[in-house]
Chain A
């Protein structure tokens, strides 16, 4: 039986490099990766992700990150990295984070965590300029992330 994978792109489509995650999913849609791959535009997510996430074997999340690394660098993270680097805490003004959403699904919907969770975090250079385009280095990283995900599928 084939492994069912969901690829979730997060970010604002009109805020330069913050759109990296949704751009990766857009490009994957053009590649038509097959029936066992669910491609989801999570946008700015929040609690809506409870409904958007599906039961799957593997979840690949693509999002932008600002960690101080070189723009365009792709960080590969697992759910354990979220545990340590994004403390589980609901104090945002706007909504729960990814880890909280996964736990909420587990607690309320008896939805087991996917067996494998891969997070591709693309280091952003600019997330404050309104633009539908990424900066050049992040644009290259988007293409690279698409290739990496296709290789995983």
Chain B
């Protein structure tokens, strides 16, 4: 009889999720399932609302990447009304959005990812957090983390009214411009952010890559999967978070598809498994062949590393140099090592900071022309951005009065659903032999799914806020071993 191991990261911060690991008769890993609890009533919640209200409501659905939902929703609203927004509005949204990406990447790397390396996976659990990190990198660096993440938040607040509940972007552009005083403030913050982004890459170099154990962890086989990748690129095939075509590359690095976001339904299918509320998006042209990698499987991955893999480079000079260093280290492209998502995040953080600075000094950025009023009858539209976690699609249909009749979202975490399952399975395969597992499994499984920076899109924040993990090992249907963290 098969045995079952359940890992339940049931924190309210990340939603309600658990990972089930099924063992075969010999006690070795047979399958892994990543499950989340479904949020109910989404369609009903959106239907009947004026479409211009969605950019204000959508960010509240996900407390993790409100800026991404604010932008994708605004762009879908633009498309519903067939509006070309003013040039200054587009630049302001891009400025807001690059600040959003920077804030998210700084948070993820320093508060969540880095403690796996600094102080390290073997450190006491009580030290594997941002305070343990500060013990190693020093108080000044800790202050720089807080300051620059705060700057990225502040820029979003200046442009869209509130960093967590942004409101100023709406169909047609923005409800307000920025003043010259605000521009000057943003420029100063942008300079600091660029300098800090370079420091962050140095920290990664000195404390992660210089350590042979961590280097092996990143470059080794544990989380290596050859898959397709998707991400948005500009007209020069450079990474772009706010706009562009979606480009898909094969595991071998060839361009497989390139399409405007509005055509996503032609390219992306959604596989449904009976055990999961979270769907499994896949490449329609290949088809769903199960949770496996390779050119014959429609599984693709999104997020930082995917964007760098599908692009031909970065549009800013310092980020381009960092991009070349990363691919030079692996001496391969695409890079298939999942923990390289962390490195790619830091390269992107530098790009986002350079973009903030560039846009803050654009002569048009303080223009008062930031809104085009709708003139067409609303119908249907798709808006997409690169959320920090990967491509985010909002697809709205309205009646002729602009009241929402249908909504479809494809979020980044769903697109990495299969990838996360594959990474967890591979880690589990290495660590569970003949039914034996220990606490190292918890760390390695966590590191696997944390690389994807998953967001279960429910944003519940009930106490307690920790991530309890539970591993239950069943033999013959009976519980004979239980490993827990933060549950007792």
- Interface residue ranges, A against B (CB under 8 Å): 10-15, 18, 21, 41, 43-48, 50-51, 63-66, 77, 82, 85-98, 100, 103-104, 107-109, 119, 121, 124, 127-131
Contact = CB atoms under 8 A, between A and B. Distances in A.
Nearest to A65: B463
16 contacts: A14-B45, A45-B63, A45-B461, A46-B64, A47-B146, A64-B460, A85-B464, A86-B464, A91-B128, A91-B467, A94-B455, A97-B13, A104-B146, A108-B143, A109-B143, A129-B41
Given A100-B129, A100-B130, 19 more contacts: A11-B462, A12-B63, A14-B61, A15-B39, A43-B63, A43-B165, A44-B13, A44-B459, A50-B150, A63-B461, A65-B463, A88-B126, A91-B469, A94-B112, A104-B146, A108-B139, A108-B143, A130-B42, A131-B41
A90 B458 contact: no
A13 B60 CA distance: 6
Interface in B444-466: 446, 449-450, 453-455, 458-466
Contacts of A89: 125-126, 128-129, 466-467, 485-486
Contacts of B40: 128-130
Contacts of B11: 92-93
B207 interface: no
B326 to A, nearest CB: 23
Interface in B105-163: 107, 111-112, 115, 125-126, 128-131, 134, 139, 142-143, 146, 149-150, 153, 163
Interface in B1-48: 9, 11-14, 16, 37-42, 44-45
B466 A12 contact: no
A86 B142 contact: no
Contacts of B455: 93-94
Contact of A96 (B37, B39, B42, B130): B130
Contact of A129 (B39, B125, B150): B39
B13 A46 contact: yes
A128 to B, nearest CB: 6
B466 A46 contact: no
Chain B interface size band reads 35 or more
Interface of B: 9, 11-14, 16, 37-42, 44-45, 57, 60-61, 63-64, 107, 111-112, 115, 125-126, 128-131, 134, 139, 142-143, 146, 149-150, 153, 163-165, 446, 449-450, 453-455, 458-467, 469, 485-486
A44 B461 contact: yes
Nearest to A100: B129
Contact of B466 (A18, A47, A92, A119): A92
Q: Which of B125, B446, B461 has the most CB of A within 10 A?
A: B461
Given A93-B450, A94-B64, A130-B45, A10 B461 contact: yes
A97 B460 contact: no
A108 B462 contact: no
B141 to A, nearest CB: 10
